[in-house]
Amino acid sequence: MEKQFFRSRTKRTLRLMTEKKDGTIIRRTINSAAIEGAAALLFVVAVAITCKFIYDSITIRDARKTIIEQKTELNNLTDENEALTVENSTLTNKVAVLSEAVSKKAEAEDVLSQETIENALPKGFPLSGSATMTQAQEGEPMLIFSASSGINVVTTGTGIVEVVDADETYGTKIVIDHGNGYRSIYRNSAAALVKQGESLGKGYILFSIGKDNEELGYQITLNEEYIDPMTMIEING
């Protein structure tokens, strides 16, 4: 004999009763299907809210992480910018110092160059002491000095000894090249105290005046043309 089993299904019903002011009782019945549907809806809503909360939490966490990373990068860039600003300021100061040094050096070189040119001009007095002076009456312009023993014939400007040679009239001739086309010529009968090729300063001794060589013939040329020495010479005694 075949046995059959039947599973009984329990039905649940929710009854709601509401009493009005007049004492009337209103009864409402909610069956199990409605309850289960409401429960399922609440579950879905709860799951949705939970998922939304989790999603928002992850989004906020990622946003905070991004903000922190951006802030860190901004701080690094700020530090780098400050370092570059300091470095740029240092380089600017170095450039200013170097520019000032170069400018001062150029000014000093200009002054030195002017002094060198000025010292080279044959503007000095050709004797270390006083002397009488006359101008040659014939030939190229020349000053003739008569000095006492013990006085020296000296260079009238810085330059190089170009010629040390015999002179038909005076005995010895020394030519100093001062540059810029200027040359000074010294004629005396004493022995020359310098040699050709020597570089001399202003006031350097060329001859020593004695009893037998008291006369000096002095001339200046500019670009190989004789000029009047009086236009250049500075007589201080």
pLDDT at 6: 46
| Cβ neighbours for 184, distance < 8 A, ≥ 6 positions apart | 122, 126, 155, 156, 157, 159, 175, 176, 178, 218, 219, 220
pLDDT at 129: 93
pLDDT at 236: 54
Mean pLDDT confidence for 55-69? 88
Q: How far is CA 191 from CA 156, 162, 167, 178, 237, in A?
A: 19, 16, 12, 22, 25
Would you say residue 111 has pLDDT above 70? no
Question: In the chain, what percentage of residues exceed pLDDT 90?
Answer: 45
pTM score, whole prediction: 0.56
Instruction: List pLDDT tens digits, range 156-215.
Output: 999 999 999 999 999 999 999 999 899 999 999 999 999 999 999 999 999 999 999 999
Mean pLDDT confidence for 71-95? 87
What band does 147 get if pLDDT is binned at 50, 70 and 90?
very high
Would you say residue 105 has pLDDT above 70? yes
